[in-house]
A and B are shown apart, each in its own frame.
Chain A
Amino acid sequence: MLAILFRAYCLSVQFIVRFVGRSVSYLVPLLAFVVAFEVFSRYVLNRPTIWAYDLSLFIFAYIAALGGAFAQQKQAHINVDILYLKVSARTRRLFNLLTYALAIYFMLVLIDISVDKLLEALKYNYRRQSEWAPHMHHFWIMMISAGGLMAAQLLAQWLEDIYALISGRELFAERESNNDEY
């Protein structure tokens, strides 16, 4: 019963994280075009924009923060694997329980502070300091989502590990391949 719940949780998190991760990747060409447009507008039209600077930073931040959970799903985040690769699979799971817990804690702190900043941004109508002065509230909503997705993804992997440690069985009979292509 618990296994079914765990599985349902893991699969839905994986689905959402993958969906968000793939979606933000479409922002990459947009980022390049925004910066290129600023160069074009300034150099050719002699009319620098007031929005390209902040917009490119926002797009950059959205890709970088929201893509984090998907990178975690694909095990793309860097770790120092010197000892990690030498220990048994069981020990490795134990290590994961500790390090993922630390990372989840970090994400909860990030979410907590981002909620504060969101409320502050709404209360004081915070904007960027530039002439264009775009709003900041959406950025904090994005950070809360990015932290939430990352925490949810880490928790899914944590559950897989603890299930395997306690029951001695894999949560997923055939562990979902992390290399599913695009």
Chain B
Amino acid sequence: MLTAVLLVCLLVAFAFGAPVGLGLGGIAMAVGYLTWGEGIFNIIPSTIDSTYFSFILLAIPLYIYMGQLLTRSGIGDAMFNASQLIIGRVRGSLAISVIGVCSMIGAMVGIIGAGIMTSGSIALKPMLERGYDRRLALGVIMAGGGLGILIPPSVPMIMFASATQNSVGRMFIAALVPAAISIVCLALYVIISCRLNPERAPLGTGDEMKMTPKQKVLTLRDGLFSVLLIFAVLGSIISGIATPTESGAIGVIGAIILAILFKRFKLSMFRHAGFETAILISVAMWIIFGATLFSNFHLLMGVQDMVASFTQDLGLPPLGVIIMMQLIMILLGFIIDEFIIVLMCAPLFTPIAVSLGYDPIWFGILMILNIEIAVQTPPYGFALFYLKGIAPPGVTMSDIYRSVLPFIGIKLAVLILCMLVPELVLWLPNKIMG
């Protein structure tokens, strides 16, 4: 009942064009005041604690800043220029390089917001400048950025493993094959879609083709250094120099050093990057704050008990139960973020799945694949708002909605594939870890 009231208010406020974070917070506090009383306002300090004081979320500003520095210094472009020099004759090749870069970013970050906003900062401009179809470009960023929680390290996977007492290492390894399948499917979609609609991805007839040999060498050198920066950041994680969150700061320092080396460092560039980052951080954090307030109010009113009783005693066959759980998680994606979905659903659902004879690691990977979809399903998903935040002016919410649809289809296909063929998930960890 309350859920229905909240969702109706939410839809009205969104239809009227309320700023997302402020609207969510305002509705929670208004409905809360009417149903609970003034006491509900005390939910604010605890919510501030779990949002503004979350070290995990610190990855968002650090990675956005790195992305902004790479873009504004032209280093990010250099990476794509170089890739175009090499594979520019293949239609859609830029989008494919973007998927490659997003996968590497996915390997650096462990949360969705940082994945999408970093990928968007670096890769959106080069695609749009070369005349790529706007929807294709946005969709590729969304799909690629979402890989952040599927490619290890991944914070939701750590949370799942802990909540259900499973091995994190096993989860990480089990995610590799589904991640590879996702990447290949995304690339295939881009190639096929560009074959069918050539106007969506102009061929690389740009400046790269008219370059002198010396310019070509320089372009390749710059591109190589930019890719090296990404490997350096990854290396700092793998070699134990920094945690995934901190590695964003390593990336910032690396980007500044590269810009100075390439003589592209200008104080104004530095200032603009900080300025743009500050606005993006504010936008992202006010959404996270308002949305967390909304979901905390919902949880205090007991939405979790509803979910628990709903899943029990439905009298479905085993696979039906699994499918029902997937549907519930996608629906939950409408109102709560990736961490809370795991915190709530992992302990609720996993024992049921195990009692039905399913492997918990397999179920965990399905959950991660599901969350990737849930947070970018229209009309209301965190990832959609992150993408809008990073998109150039003039991109409307309907552009965003339409751009993500085919990619949601692909991710859904991967989810269903892994659901039907558990070996895709379990083969590698069983092979490596026994």
Contact = CB atoms under 8 A, between A and B. Distances in A.
Q: Do chains A and B touch in the complex (CB under 8 A)?
A: yes
Interface of A: 21-22, 24-29, 31-33, 35-36, 38-39, 43, 53, 56-57, 60-61, 63-68, 70-72, 74, 76-85, 92, 95-96, 98-99, 102-103, 105-107, 109-110, 112-114, 117, 143, 150, 179, 182
B190 to A, nearest CB: 26
Nearest to B272: A182
B270 A63 contact: no
B20 A35 contact: no
Contact of A102 (B26, B48, B284): B26
A64 B41 contact: no
B65 interface: yes
Given A64-B285, A182-B271, A112 B279 contact: no
Task: Give the interface residue-count category, chain B.
Answer: 35 or more
Contact of A63 (B13, B44, B281): B281
B265 interface: no
24 contacts: A25-B279, A28-B61, A28-B273, A29-B65, A29-B274, A36-B252, A38-B246, A63-B61, A64-B52, A64-B284, A70-B282, A71-B282, A80-B380, A82-B398, A83-B15, A83-B17, A98-B16, A102-B18, A102-B26, A103-B23, A105-B30, A106-B26, A109-B29, A110-B44
A102 B27 contact: yes
Nearest to B282: A67
Tell me whether chain A's interface is mostly helix, strand or loop, or mixed.
Answer: helix
Nearest to A66: B282
A35 B14 contact: no
Contacts of B42: 113
Interface in B17-51: 17-23, 25-27, 29-30, 41-42, 44-45, 48
Contacts of B279: 21, 25, 67, 70-71, 74, 76
Contact of A21 (B19, B278, B287): B278
A32 B252 contact: yes
A104 B271 CA distance: 31
A65 B52 contact: yes
A78 B58 CA distance: 21
Nearest to B398: A82
B397 A81 contact: yes
Given A102-B30, A105-B30, A112-B41, A61 B286 contact: no
B19 A72 contact: yes
Residue of A26, A32, A38, A76 with highest tally of chain B CB at under 10 A: A32
Given A25-B275, A81-B17, A103-B18, A60 B30 contact: no
Interface of B: 13-23, 25-27, 29-30, 41-42, 44-45, 48, 52-53, 55, 57-58, 61-62, 65, 236, 241-242, 245-246, 248-250, 252-253, 270-275, 277-279, 281-287, 290, 379-380, 385, 388-389, 393, 396-398, 401
B379 A80 contact: yes
Nearest to B66: A32
A143 B58 CA distance: 18
A56 B388 CA distance: 26
A32 B286 contact: no
A77 B19 contact: yes
B282 to A, nearest CB: 3
A137 B22 CA distance: 24
A182 B275 CA distance: 8
A119 to B, nearest CB: 13
Nearest to A110: B44
A43 B62 contact: no
A99 B62 contact: no
Contacts of B380: 80
B253 to A, nearest CB: 5
A151 to B, nearest CB: 10
Contacts of A102: 13, 18, 22-23, 26-27, 30
Contacts of A143: 48
A59 B253 CA distance: 18
Contact of A25 (B15, B45, B252, B277): B277
Contacts of B250: 36, 39
A39 B246 contact: yes
A179 B232 CA distance: 36
Contacts of B253: 32, 36
A29 to B, nearest CB: 6
